[in-house]
DNA sequence: CGAGGAATTGAGTAGGTTCAAGGCCGGTGG
DNA sequence: CCACCGGCCTTGAACCTACTCAATTCCTCG
């Protein structure tokens, strides 16, 4: 029942006809359907984007959390440096992702954030956070869902690192990228932008660059992927997905259940 | 600056003189100071406790999320079964922990929960959740912090699984137990209740029972720990902590920063 | 006292690391 | 236009940590 639910990857966008061109809207709309007002608020957010070069640190371990951001373009990651010089990449921040909105509850953050490519982000000031909480309850709900999704992604990571071999881990990472890109309307077919170097993949999956390289060779030899010039094509997505042991909707994109909606309406009436 | 911050373990209870006998109160008080009203609400919650035997499943992967709970006594865990019969334990639910309160935002849960020992829990009905949101803003805030703490614990897990060898992982697990127990006022000295079997430790850390056994032998030989009859004593906590590469306050127990308090007051006035 | 789960120990194996060298490719400067 | 440089990728060989399989002992509990 559970383990066998490995069906084909689908870009599921329940309650939405087609993904919005604005990636924040596209992402959050998976969780809750937003009002016109919500949408235009998010679009306004994206008007003044900040450009950040590759390899620039957006935050450092130990910092007091500062303002929040939303990623409009590019790729960033949370990571942790180890005493011996190695590092572990924790999570990726992709277009449509938010971060730092809950961080004001912590005195310091336990990870650093770095831009892995040239990146554009929309800063979210306190004033705007307040505006969201006071006037955009559906965005608040969607951001909750976003937080739960992040936690779910971390759990998947733990499972792969704890019980998966190198091939499973790499397959998982590629599927994660494909699914998350599709969730915001990027990566139509099975080809996607994969800006990570093999060393960065290794840092993500707890492997060495050398071994990542060998796994990739295997996948290429088997005709499962093509990867060159930062473009990754997944032929045989089904095979990869099965290898990665991913089940449908692991991103929890199918919206909140009926009971949850009723409860929410009770807690925070939307109109 | 950051990496070298490995000082000695301390049971830090900022803003609170001594931990409350009620473990929910003790836990949440680390994040926000609760009012008398908040405290008596939590105490009332614990009056009708549900007893659950060892090895009983509290939830199954794929289930629609049901009611929430708080753990009053015992130990439970979230876990995931693998297709090949192995399993990965994701997180531990210890006395003072809450779960299922945000789950109503998801259509199904991606993990199972099982009681690892005889456990007592306080069920949290929807009505009570509503009461919390409407009348206990400080509890709401503390529950947010609790969620962030859970995410931080998952990140630590990823780091250990990704970049730590077996010794580091075991050392980390023991430190996590000690710190979390201390956070709710259990485990005064360096001795604590460790109900996990070696197989369960293995399932947590992505190892085999055999290898866990060998690591434990090493630690015993070096006089770092004593472990027998489910009682674990950490002599040389400092050594373990250094091995585990844990920095101070990784549980984020030192309360929310001033700026966060002001923001919260603005968003949800506490009186 | 018996039974079954848990812990322990040994020996052989394998997946991934380490170290090291060489090749590819894009960018830069003369 | 070409030569050089540096980052990234690739490949080989030796090594090592942790796994596998299997047998034995220890505990605990009925």
Mean pLDDT of chain B: 91
Quote the pLDDT of residue A261.
86
Residue B229 CB-density burial (10 A; 0-12 exposed, 13-18 middle, 19+ buried): exposed
Spatial distance between the Cα atoms of A10 and A1, rounded to a whole number of angstroms: 19
Average pLDDT over residues A29-38: 96
The percent of residues above 70 in pLDDT, for chain A, comes to 92
H or E, element range at B257: none
Contacts B263 to A, Cβ<8 Å: 104, 126, 129-130
- How many angstroms separate the CA of A161 from the C1' of C21? 31
Which tens digit of pLDDT belongs to each residue from B97-130? 999 998 889 999 999 999 999 999 999 999 999 9
Mean pLDDT of chain A: 91
Which tens digit of pLDDT belongs to each residue from B152-197? 999 999 999 999 999 999 999 999 999 999 999 998 789 999 999 9
Q: Nearest-CA distance from B145 to chain A in Å?
A: 6
Quote the pLDDT of residue B150.
97
**Partner-chain contact B252 A82, CB within 8 Å:** no
* B210 sits within 7 Å of strand C by its CB: yes
Quote the pLDDT of residue A125.
94
Contacts A159 to B, Cβ<8 Å: 80, 82, 88, 90
> Which of the residues in chain B have pLDDT under 70?
1-18, 270-271
Quote the pLDDT of residue A267.
78
- How many angstroms separate the CA of B117 from the C1' of D30? 19
* B194 sits within 7 Å of strand C by its CB: no
| Number of residues in chain B | 271
SS3 assignment for chain A: CCCCCCCCCCCCCCCCCCCCCCHHHHHHHCCCCCCHHHHHHHHHHCCCCEEECCCCEEECCCCCCCCEEEEEECCEEEEEECCCCCEEEEEEECCCCEECCCHHHCCCCCCEEEECCCEEEEEECHHHHHHHHHHCHHHHHHHHHHHHHHHHHHHHHHHHHHHCCHHHHHHHHHHHHHHHHHHCCCCCCCEEECCCCHHHHHHHHCCCHHHHHHHHHHHHHCCCEEEECCEEEECCHHHHHHHHCCCCCCCCCCCCCHHHHHHHHHHCCCC
Bases of chain C within 7 A of a CB of the protein: 5-11, 15-20, 26
The percent of residues above 90 in pLDDT, for chain A, comes to 82
Spatial distance between the Cα atoms of B168 and B227, rounded to a whole number of angstroms: 17
Three-class SS state of B226: strand
B168: tokens are 């580091």
Quote the pLDDT of residue A7.
40
Quote the pLDDT of residue A17.
54
**Partner-chain contact A152 B90, CB within 8 Å:** no
The larger pLDDT score, comparing residue B204 to residue A265, is at: B204
- How many angstroms separate the CA of B115 from the C1' of C5? 18
Quote the pLDDT of residue A263.
84
Domains of chain B plus CATH, in order, are 5-267 (2.60.120.10)
Quote the pLDDT of residue A2.
38
Report pTM: 0.93
Which tens digit of pLDDT belongs to each residue from A43-57? 999 999 999 999 999
Which tens digit of pLDDT belongs to each residue from A93-145? 999 999 999 888 999 999 999 999 999 999 999 999 999 999 999 999 999 99
What is the count of residue pairs from A and B with beta carbons less than 8 Å apart?
168
The larger pLDDT score, comparing residue A88 to residue B5, is at: A88
For residue A219, pLDDT beyond 50: yes
Contacts A248 to B, Cβ<8 Å: none
For residue A270, pLDDT beyond 80: no
Instruction: Please state, as a whole number, how many other Cβ atoms lie within 10 Å of the Cβ of residue A104.
Output: 22
């Amino acid at each position: 029942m559970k383990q066998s639910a490995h069906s084909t990857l689908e870009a599921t966008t329940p309650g939405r006809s087609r993904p919005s061109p604005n990636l924040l809207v596209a992402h959050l709309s998976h969780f809750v359907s937003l009002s016109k007002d919500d949408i235009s608020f998010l679009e306004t957010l994206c008007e003044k984007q900040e450009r950040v070069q590759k390899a620039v640190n957006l935050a450092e371990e130990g910092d007091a959390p500062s303002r929040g951001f939303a990623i409009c373009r590019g790729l960033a990651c949370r990571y942790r440096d180890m005493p011996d010089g190695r590092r572990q990449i924790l999570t990726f921040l992709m277009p449509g992702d938010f971060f730092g909105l809950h961080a004001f509850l912590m005195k310091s953050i336990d990870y650093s954030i770095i831009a892995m490519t040239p990146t554009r982000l929309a800063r979210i000031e306190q004033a705007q956070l307040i505006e969201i909480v006071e006037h955009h309850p559906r965005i608040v709900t969607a951001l909750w869902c976003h937080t739960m999704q992040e936690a779910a992604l971390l759990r998947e990571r733990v499972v792969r690192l704890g019980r998966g071999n190198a091939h499973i881990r790499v397959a998982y990472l590629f599927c994660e990228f494909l699914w998350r890109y599709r969730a915001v309307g990027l990566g139509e077919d099975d080809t996607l932008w994969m800006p990570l170097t093999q060393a960065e993949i290794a840092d993500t999956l707890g492997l060495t660059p050398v071994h990542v390289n060998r796994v990739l060779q295997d996948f290429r030899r088997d005709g499962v992927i093509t990867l060159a010039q930062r473009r990754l094509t997944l032929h045989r997505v089904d095979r990869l997905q099965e290898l990665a042991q991913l089940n449908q909707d692991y991103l929890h994109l199918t919206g909140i259940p009926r009971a949850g909606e009723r409860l929410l309406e009770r807690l925070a009436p939307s109109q």
